[in-house]
Structure 1
Amino acid sequence: MKSFKLNSPFSANILLEGKPYLYFGGTAYLGIPQHPDFLKFYLEGIRKFGLNNGTSRNNNIQLGLYDEAEKYAAAQFGADAALISSSGYLAAQLTVRFFSTPERVLYAPETHPALWTAQKPASKGSFSQWATESLNRINNSDQQDWVLISNSLNNLFPEHYDFSFIKEILPGKKVVLIVDDSHGIGILDRGRGIFNLIPKTNQVEVIVVASMAKALGLDAGIILGTEKVIKALKSCNEFLGASPPAAAGLFAFMQSADIYKEEQEKLMALISYFAREINSDWKHIAGFPVFHHPDEKMFDRLMEKEISISSFPYPDPNSQAINRVVLSSWHTKENINQLISSI
């Protein structure tokens, strides 16, 4: 597989080394980085608040916009409260480090590195195997306090993760479930993400962390949880000592509910259309814009037809390449038909 340096912005069409290609990769699922109306709001935010805000969140002079954005985000994604940080990595690390001690943390397979506290976790096998093993370990242990850490879904080999097993955790246990929804927020559950799809029980404290830089198009991170959890996390030095994301982006985010809804509806229609037209060799899940194909030569064949898809070796540089088609709302039905005819 040959790698390329882009010399044009991401959109449905890109330039690779000066040559135009139809592009089916990346994570801008809702096309927000190039959306003209969103950019108008962003520019308005820049005029109101400037390019950035270099003060920490415990400074005695604060932009009220940050509290407003967190309340707005909590309502949008169905949580009691939210914390917004400068990146998804910071949101994940802040949360994991606050709640974790090595002897009581159980990592699901393929958990994103942003959630690691040290070396790569040793988890292997499928998510369902991990869920069963974790449930048995928790219920059969004298230890009461546990932390479960997982992605919300598998975006490489598309798979929804089923968290219903937490309903079987025995009374008296105190479990914190930390879920990274970076690829689901803005997409799953009509854009609300995974938070309201996870069962709520008395034994389990559910906390969702996510990068807002994918479907939502913002250079920011978010944590969703109860008022108690968010208040505790806001007392951490990692939060208090870090500069917040640009206020302009959060301003645009709060003005763009209709934009997100419209783009999500476009994307869902494209996903359904493409799914109907492909054969069973493709692995995909309903309502998610990633389609995996096992043929390692797919990338090269499509490149010959001036179509670029996501392709990289996984889990290490010597592995077979993962070839995936990633749809975005900036694609058109004509783009999809061009792809279909070239497969």
Structure 2
Amino acid sequence: MAVYIDSFPGREININGKPYLYFGGTSYLGLQDLPEFQELFIDNIRKYGTGYSASRKSNVRFPIFDDAENYLADLVGSERCITLSSGYLAGQFIAEYLQTKKYKAFYAPNTHSALLRNCTQHKNYVTYASLNIAVRNYLNGPNPKIPVLYLDAIDFSGGNYPNFESLKILPLKKMILVADDSHGIGIVGENGQGIFNTLQKLPIKTLFVCCSLGKGLGIQAGAVFGNSEDLSQLESAHLYVGSSPASPAAMATLVQADKLYNQRRSILRQNLGYFLKEVGSDVKFRHMEGHPTFSFQNELLVTHLEKHGIIITNFNYPNENSKITSRIVLSASHTIQDINTLCNTIKSFS
């Protein structure tokens, strides 16, 4: 059931005058309602304005975009980075760039619609085994194009991140890989660098990584990572030239909040470790090592949590005909008392 709120959902939300603990959403570092982060953003709004509705190729330019892209490239370990106004646009940007007669698209299980140029014509493979057969059969056929594989790095099934074992059965040396790391950047990896370096170690022909910066890093923007040559070509694409960029105030906040990101990531990891210790192994969740999310399929548990004042992520995703997504999400905003309440409520479920 959908509920409507009139302020940002932090560690608590208020529904019809009643407070609930909130263990859902994607604000993993709890930045969007954090006063220190907000003040930094507000100061940058005063300098750069609330938005900038001009092309990045305009004759009047902000150097903060280059500063932010260099910061992000250094963070993930890529040669270059370019930013856009949203993560969804970043995915569509790459998909459009590779939608030519030179390439043949394939979609891994659970690939997000941000990477699909036409959702009605393209479908994900159900398993990597069937995907592997399809790719190899295609490459053995007459005049094959270069295969492009689209996937979500963190798809909440555990099939990709952290080890990407399923990818290793594919003929990666002959393939381009496009991975969406929206749920990883800022969160996983020692410094929140996400999965770029992990995938780069695989024998992939060409690697692109795209992502939203709104989940782990708390700003409304998207990014694409890859080699300098390909990203230079992307910068000349009409979609990039013709669209407005992310807010320069957001870009400045991204660069200046590095210390805050590290502090919040440390708190999140402490919360994650505490939850894993306290909840025990009796309750079966689908969990990926190092990620603060716990998925399950049990509507009775969802109802039990709600009766005890806890709201989690629970809705049909990605559309109304899909299975219900039920997910407990920890954030850096949660207190130890919050987590104790969650663990005790889970343990009381029978």
Q: Residue 311 and residue 202 in structure 1: after superposition, are their counterparts in 2 closer, same or farther (change >3 A)?
A: closer
| 8 A Cα contact 1:218 1:249, kept in partner | yes
Q: Residue 61 and residue 315 in structure 1: after superposition, are their counterparts in 2 closer, same or farther (change >3 A)?
A: closer
**Match of residue 325, structure 1, among 323, 328, 342:** 328
Three-state SS of the structure 2 residue aligned to 1:177 is: strand
In 1, the alpha carbon distance for the partners of 2:137 and 2:330 equals 39
Question: Is 1:100 matched up with 2:102?
Answer: no
| 8 A Cα contact 2:212 2:221, kept in partner | yes
Aligned residue in 2 for 1:194: 195
In 2, the alpha carbon distance for the partners of 1:170 and 1:286 equals 25
Deviation of the 1:114 alpha carbon: 1.0
Tell me the amino acid that sits aligned with residue 169 of structure 1: P
In 2, the alpha carbon distance for the partners of 1:235 and 1:288 equals 36
**Match of residue 169, structure 1, among 171, 174, 182:** 171
Three-state SS of the structure 2 residue aligned to 1:223 is: strand
Deviation of the 1:327 alpha carbon: 0.6
Three-state SS of the structure 2 residue aligned to 1:9 is: coil
Aligned residue in 2 for 1:136: 136
After TM superposition, the structure 1 = structure 2 runs for residues 205-244 of structure 1, keeping only pairs within 5 Å, are 205-244=206-245
Aligned residue in 2 for 1:17: 16
Deviation of the 1:266 alpha carbon: 1.3
Q: Residue 152 and residue 323 in structure 1: after superposition, are their counterparts in 2 closer, same or farther (change >3 A)?
A: same
In 2, the alpha carbon distance for the partners of 1:170 and 1:305 equals 48
Aligned residue in 1 for 2:38: 39
Aligned residue in 2 for 1:75: 74
Question: Is 1:272 matched up with 2:269?
Answer: no
Q: Residue 303 and residue 146 in structure 1: after superposition, are their counterparts in 2 closer, same or farther (change >3 A)?
A: same
| 8 A Cα contact 2:132 2:169, kept in partner | no
Q: Residue 5 and residue 203 in structure 1: after superposition, are their counterparts in 2 closer, same or farther (change >3 A)?
A: closer
Three-state SS of the structure 1 residue aligned to 2:32 is: helix
Tell me the amino acid that sits aligned with residue 180 of structure 1: D
| 8 A Cα contact 1:296 1:322, kept in partner | no
**Match of residue 297, structure 1, among 295, 300, 304:** 300
Aligned residue in 2 for 1:66: 65
Three-state SS of the structure 2 residue aligned to 1:109 is: coil
Question: Is 1:6 matched up with 2:8?
Answer: no
Aligned residue in 1 for 2:125: 124
TM-score (norm 1): 0.91
Q: Residue 164 and residue 323 in structure 1: after superposition, are their counterparts in 2 closer, same or farther (change >3 A)?
A: closer
In 1, the alpha carbon distance for the partners of 2:58 and 2:169 equals 41
Three-state SS of the structure 2 residue aligned to 1:213 is: coil
TM-score (norm 2): 0.90
Three-state SS of the structure 1 residue aligned to 2:325 is: strand
Root mean square deviation, CA, Å: 2.2
Three-state SS of the structure 2 residue aligned to 1:53 is: coil
Tell me the amino acid that sits aligned with residue 331 of structure 1: H
Q: Deviations over 1:201-236 (max 9, x none)?
A: 675110001011111111000000011111011000
Q: Residue 159 and residue 29 in structure 1: after superposition, are their counterparts in 2 closer, same or farther (change >3 A)?
A: farther
Aligned residue in 2 for 1:254: 255
Number of residue equivalences: 338
Tell me the amino acid that sits aligned with residue 335 of structure 2: T
Tell me the amino acid that sits aligned with residue 301 of structure 2: M
Q: Deviations over 1:86-133 (max 9, x none)?
A: 01111111111111248711111211111111134222323x325533
In 1, the alpha carbon distance for the partners of 2:119 and 2:135 equals 24
| 8 A Cα contact 2:113 2:119, kept in partner | no
Structure 1, unmatched stretches of 5+, are none
After TM superposition, the structure 1 = structure 2 runs for residues 83-98 of structure 1, keeping only pairs within 5 Å, are 83-98=82-97
Deviation of the 1:158 alpha carbon: 4.7
Structure 2, unmatched stretches of 5+, are none
Three-state SS of the structure 2 residue aligned to 1:160 is: coil
| 8 A Cα contact 2:55 2:242, kept in partner | yes
Identity of counterpart residues, as a percentage?
A: 32
